[in-house]
Copies of this chain bind each other. A is one copy, B any other.
């Protein structure tokens, strides 16, 4: 991700409307993850990242995904995922096996207990997403949000098609 270094003397400062939009966006971006984490931690004892991992596996064929692909889906590094899956494995929610087709890959699979955990956790999480994000918006604003999100995630280099496989 290359930001053209601000070499010119005068940066393009934000006008009034841009500034207001950015302040609102910043508020969301830095407070929403904490709020979602808090709900999941309180009601299910897991982090949002852990939930994302379990949910992604629950929607995959055979409830299985390669570690590297799963890391991409969950927007995390492979190292982070490896640490997290180690913990999830201790709880017997996930198990790991080498990929028979290519031994370099590791395949993570959701166990029956892991499936139950997702089923038990999903409704509360969806409800939190509704209350914090979707319910406060009009139908038109939901549409606008989708379009804005498409453009910004594009600038961030995120592939929404792939993301579509998962998430509540």
Interface residues of A (CB under 8 A from B): 1, 3-6, 11-14, 17-35, 38-39, 43, 75, 122-124, 126-137, 139, 141-156, 158, 160, 163-164, 167-168
Given contacts A21-B143, A28-B29, 19 further A-B contacts (CB under 8 A): A1-B35, A4-B127, A4-B131, A6-B127, A11-B126, A14-B129, A21-B142, A21-B146, A23-B167, A24-B145, A27-B152, A29-B32, A29-B33, A30-B75, A31-B75, A31-B158, A141-B148, A141-B151, A144-B145
CB of A24 within 8 A of CB of B168, answer: no
CB of B156 within 8 A of CB of A31, answer: yes
CB of A134 within 8 A of CB of B24, answer: no
A11-B123, A27-B163, A147-B141 are contacts. A152–B132 as well, Cβ < 8 Å? yes
Q: Which residues of B contact A31 (CB under 8 A)?
A: 75, 153, 156, 158
How far is the CB of A10 from the nearest CB of chain B, in Å? 8
